[in-house]
Structure 1
Amino acid sequence: MTIKKITVIFLFLNLIFLHLSYSQKYSEVDKIVLKYPKQFDSTEDLAKKIQKNFTSEHDKARAIYSWIAFNIKYDYASFLNPQRTQGFSYSTEAEKQRKIQQINDKLIQKTFNSQKAVCEGFTALYQNLAELTGLKCEIIRGDSKTRLADIGRKETSSNHAWNIVLIDKKWRLVDVTWGQGYYDGSKGKMVNDFDPVYFDTDPDYFFAKHFPDSGSYLGNKLSKDDFLNGPLIYNKTIQHDYKIKSPDYGIIEAKSGNKITVEIKNVSKSDVVFYLNKKNQAVKIQNAKEKRGGLEFQITYDKTIGEYLTIFVDSYSIVSFKIISK
């Protein structure tokens, strides 16, 4: 076979892969919303457009998520230099609520018109559009887990916000801030990259990365210890349902020669599984065996492994653990 034919086949296969990836990433709702104008005169106009195109509660909630994620950018400069919270005085509870509503309305309009915000703006706009389309929606504030340094942190902090929306009589978890993209530390900037995994997220995954200030969800108490000391998971973990069966704790105490057993559901021998050593060199897993719908393997702890151990599947980070040397 000639080089030219091989190149053509390679490009053809890549086109197929890109098409499949596109199809998996965007739902039919997303594809319709992608054709919407990037700006509307008002949130009411956008809500009317969504109500015209979609009738089910699920589709309306998804359309709101998609439009915000496609068009509102994370304001990283404001995150680094937050504005001082302005206080206000009031004489009655009614006056207090009215002034809070005025501040919230101002935030919604600022987010909608400037098309940039931090999480407070994303969640306020999502709630506003949800209510305009007849959906019940609330804003939840709490802690987030996004960095290696978050594994084993001592305390939670209120640093993030997300939504819950009632769809077909069931509350669903939504984090449109994270759905619009992520911060690339190597480039020092935000990357706009629509991700559907934070719409109607499985609570097990969601609360591995979020912890509400109330410490509970729908009346059920959540484990602060599990949140603080659990492993760090990533978007691809959620997307592919890579459940981390073992270790179930984010902090691993080990001495040289100890074997760390890792088991991940929905991974197979056909996947390329590896970790990075201290020199950022890929170390491929060699001793894996398929077990209970997943893959189990062992990593021998030695001086080449650093403070954190991150497992990759097909070039994507899946889970990280903190290693404490005995």
Structure 2
Amino acid sequence: MIIKKLVFAFFVLNIVFLNVSFSQKYNAIDNTVLKYSKFNTTENLAERITKDFTTDYDKARAIYSWVALNIKYDYAALLKPQRTQGFSYSNEAEKQRKIRQINDQLVQKTFTSRKAVCEGFTALYQHLAELAGLKSEIIRGDSKTTLSDIGRKNTTSNHAWNTVLIDKKWRLVDVTWGQGYYDSSKGKMVNDYSPVYFDTAPDYFFTKHFPDSGSFLGDKLSKEDFLNGPLIYNKTIEKEYQIIAPKSGIIEAKYGDKITFKFKNITKPENLFYLNKKNQPVKIESPKERKGTLEFEVTYDKNIGNFITFFYYQSSIVSFKMIPQ
């Protein structure tokens, strides 16, 4: 199977090496939403969703599915962003009214044009959630998407996502990343619906997202862990693989050193490999399985490049940055 090398664009979920047959898994909610015809207004769409689904969880998932399946990422707008729209106001009430007006315009533009960057995705999700009787908020922060992000020195505000309140619990949602990815080999966006960024477990979510506030639900998050941790991929989240060791995404070693790796929930080591500098697969030698954890060693040599990415059943699961001592 040919593994295509991809690069991430800001705000869009890409994979450094992506299995070209990455499965699209739709649940019953997604299949219902897939049958929806065109809606003239967001109100009509929200009314249909509340008619078809009764629980808050199902409504929130249906909104995620509809937005991810129907709104395309506007890569051209990413390359040529519009100037921030400024406005004047005389008091706080007028300020909030104008902010709502700008947000409403963004929602309608996204809904009508069927394309947006992350601000449009998050605004539309929040709007539809509120029409469906759900409470949703927009969170802005940093996204960890490329190999070069491993060991980056500082965070930057380059992305946005949502939280939605379901059964008295705030759930994490990144509908932008649920839509698809940018394929550099084709020079275009690829629609590839992924459910893994709806109600994502916080432990996974915050390896790839860091809010501007630096906290979630009052708990402080580690900026160091975010910046220096390994880069994980969709399949890791979907299958709940756990990277036990190394904890750091930065590995400093001398040629000839043996580096110990420990991955949990990976049961068939014969399907685990990494690529060398020539993009040739290298099988894992002498792996040991202990209580659901796979432990093995990789000898660091000149055939390993600046990064090492591990694959399981042809899907990338984790990348580390290699620094020779």
Provide TM-score, normalisation by structure 1: 0.92
Match of 2:12 in 1: none
Per the TM alignment, residue 23 of structure 1 is displaced from its structure 2 partner at its CA by 9.8
Instruction: State the one-letter code of the partner of 1:166.
Output: L
Tell which structure's C-alpha radius of gyration is larger. 1
Q: CA RMSD for the aligned pairs?
A: 1.4
Match of 1:232 in 2: 231
Instruction: State the one-letter code of the partner of 1:45.
Output: N
CA change 1:234–1:25 in 2 (3 A) is: same
SS in 2 for 1:25: coil
Q: Is the 8 A contact 2:230 2:249 kept in 1?
A: yes
Question: Within 5 A, what are the aligned runs for 1:188-207?
Answer: 188-207=187-206
Question: Within 5 A, what are the aligned runs for 1:17-56?
Answer: 25-37=25-37, 39-56=38-55
- Give the Cα separation in 1 of the matches to 2:24 and 2:294: 24
Match of 1:71 in 2: 70
- Give the Cα separation in 2 of the matches to 1:242 and 1:290: 14
- Runs of 4+ off more than 6 Å: 21-24
Instruction: State the one-letter code of the partner of 2:222.
Output: S
Structure 2 segments unaligned to the other structure (5+ residues): 1-20
Q: Is the 8 A contact 2:24 2:193 kept in 1?
A: no
Q: Which has the higher helix share?
A: 1
Match of 1:18 in 2: none
Question: Within 5 A, what are the aligned runs for 1:201-216?
Answer: 201-216=200-215
- Give the Cα separation in 1 of the matches to 2:207 and 2:22: 27
Q: Is the 8 A contact 1:269 1:289 kept in 2?
A: no
Match of 1:244 in 2: 243
Structure with more contact order per residue of length (Cα contacts < 8 Å, sep ≥ 6) = 2
Per the TM alignment, residue 292 of structure 1 is displaced from its structure 2 partner at its CA by 2.3
Match of 1:5 in 2: none
Match of 1:118 in 2: 117
- Give the Cα separation in 2 of the matches to 1:129 and 1:172: 16
Instruction: State the one-letter code of the partner of 1:130.
Output: A
Question: Within 5 A, what are the aligned runs for 1:1-326?
Answer: 25-37=25-37, 39-269=38-268, 271-326=270-325
Per the TM alignment, residue 290 of structure 1 is displaced from its structure 2 partner at its CA by 1.0
Q: Which stretch of structure 1 is more off in the superposition, 265-274 or 121-130?
A: 265-274
Match of 1:13 in 2: none
Per the TM alignment, residue 22 of structure 1 is displaced from its structure 2 partner at its CA by 11
CA change 1:101–1:223 in 2 (3 A) is: same
- Give the Cα separation in 2 of the matches to 1:24 and 1:179: 11
Q: Is the 8 A contact 2:242 2:265 kept in 1?
A: yes
Instruction: State the one-letter code of the partner of 2:323.
Output: I
Match of 1:16 in 2: none
Q: Is the 8 A contact 2:270 2:283 kept in 1?
A: no
CA change 1:295–1:256 in 2 (3 A) is: same
Post-superposition CA distance 1:198-223 (Å, at most 9, x none): 00000000000000000000000000
Q: Is the 8 A contact 1:260 1:301 kept in 2?
A: yes
CA change 1:77–1:23 in 2 (3 A) is: closer
Q: Percent identity?
A: 72
SS in 2 for 1:253: strand
Per the TM alignment, residue 188 of structure 1 is displaced from its structure 2 partner at its CA by 2.1
- Give the Cα separation in 1 of the matches to 2:285 and 2:62: 44
Q: Is the 8 A contact 1:271 1:314 kept in 2?
A: no
Instruction: State the one-letter code of the partner of 1:35.
Output: K
SS in 1 for 2:295: strand
Per the TM alignment, residue 77 of structure 1 is displaced from its structure 2 partner at its CA by 0.5
- Give the Cα separation in 2 of the matches to 1:24 and 1:160: 24
SS in 2 for 1:201: coil
Match of 1:14 in 2: none
CA change 1:26–1:83 in 2 (3 A) is: same
Instruction: State the one-letter code of the partner of 2:59.
Output: K
Q: Is the 8 A contact 1:72 1:180 kept in 2?
A: yes
Provide TM-score, normalisation by structure 2: 0.92
Q: Is the 8 A contact 2:266 2:293 kept in 1?
A: yes
